[in-house]
């Protein structure tokens, strides 16, 4: 499934039904797909982490607050961008949440032009995040094709070890190292050591 084939989706989470309906009307009038929830808990049950989506959520709600929902999504490594709805203009809170990955705030009452601008910008970010996450998954899948010995050889290639050094490390012949190296390149569908390094290092960052 490619990004262009995935319909984007806007989630609204607010305990105020009037706010949810207002936002839904504005967004659907601009041809966006929308799903709304009255609580963070309901959203977590219905959220599809693989969708290209953004979350518009009220900061203050009964039960799990918008800020607590953000913390939960961070724990789940969710790529979804977040816009917080606030009527309070709390600057320290805004700074704190921005550092944790929220990209914007939407102040009540809503300005339709501002809303459209924020949503368009964030959906672009969402598409990029989902694409990056899919790339990492694909790289992990590709790396899983390697045998245990090939993984050992790859680790040493990434560490900058020469074939002769790798042979000594693993107590195998240089020809065997060369054979493993060729198999690794073929399985990972790369032709240069630079491309090989990119896949291996990206995998290390994901698992870190």
Q: What is the pLDDT of residue 18?
A: 92
Q: What are φ and ψ of residue 194, in 5° steps? A: -60, -45
| Same-domain check for residues 25 and 94 | yes
Q: Is residue 139 part of a domain?
A: no
| Same-domain check for residues 19 and 51 | yes
Dist. CA 7–CA 102, nearest whole Å: 22
Residue range 97-113: average pLDDT?
76
| Same-domain check for residues 11 and 51 | yes
Query: Which range marks the domain in which residue 167 is found?
Result: 145-207
Dist. CA 39–CA 142, nearest whole Å: 39
3-state secondary structure of 131: helix
Residue range 140-147: average pLDDT?
84
Query: Total structural domains in the chain?
Result: 2
Q: What is the pLDDT of residues 46-82, one digit of tens each?
A: 898 878 899 999 988 999 999 899 999 989 888 789 9
Which of these ranges, 39-43, 102-106, 127-131, 159-163, has the smallest mean pLDDT? 102-106
Of residues 50 and 168, more confidently modeled: 168
Q: What is the pLDDT of residue 82?
A: 92
| Same-domain check for residues 120 and 55 | yes
Asked if the model's pLDDT at residue 9 lies above 70, the reply is yes
Dist. CA 22–CA 97, nearest whole Å: 25
Taking the CA atoms of residue 57, residue 62, residue 70 and residue 74 in that order, the dihedral angle to the nearest 10 degrees is -140
Give the Å distances, CA to CA, from 104 to 73, 74, 115, 204: 16, 16, 10, 30
Q: What is the pLDDT of residue 5?
A: 41
| Same-domain check for residues 41 and 108 | yes
The b/e string for 32-60 (b: 16+ C-beta within 10 A; e otherwise) is: bebbbbbbbeebbeebeeebbbbbbbbbe
What band does 131 get if pLDDT is binned at 50, 70 and 90? confident
| Same-domain check for residues 65 and 89 | yes
CATH of the domain at 122: 3.40.50.2300
Return the closest-CA partner of residue 156 out of 147, 167, 145: 167
Of residues 13 and 106, more confidently modeled: 13
Asked if the model's pLDDT at residue 3 lies above 60, the reply is no
Q: What is the pLDDT of residue 93?
A: 67
Q: What is the pLDDT of residue 203?
A: 66
């Amino acid at each position: 499934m490619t990004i262009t084939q995935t319909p984007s989706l806007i989630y609204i989470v607010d305990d105020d039904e009037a706010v949810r309906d207002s936002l839904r009307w504005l967004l659907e009038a601009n041809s966006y797909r929308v799903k709304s929830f009255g609580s963070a808990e309901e959203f977590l049950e219905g959220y599809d982490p693989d969708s290209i989506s953004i979350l518009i959520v009220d900061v203050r709600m009964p039960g799990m607050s918008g800020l607590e929902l953000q913390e939960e999504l961070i724990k789940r490594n969710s790529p979804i961008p977040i816009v917080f709805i606030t009527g309070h203009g709390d600057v320290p809170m805004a700074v704190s949440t921005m550092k944790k990955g929220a990209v914007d705030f939407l102040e009540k009452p809503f300005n339709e032009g501002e809303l459209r601008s924020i949503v368009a910008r964030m959906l672009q970010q969402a598409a990029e995040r989902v694409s990056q996450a899919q790339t990492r998954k694909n790289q992990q899948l590709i790396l899983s094709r390697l045998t245990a010995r090939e993984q050992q050889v790859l680790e040493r290639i990434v560490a900058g070890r020469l074939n002769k050094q790798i042979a000594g490390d693993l107590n195998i012949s240089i020809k065997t190292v060369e054979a493993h190296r060729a198999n690794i390149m073929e399985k990972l569908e790369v032709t240069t050591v630079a491309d090989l390094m990119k896949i291996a290092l990206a995998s290390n960052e994901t698992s870190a």
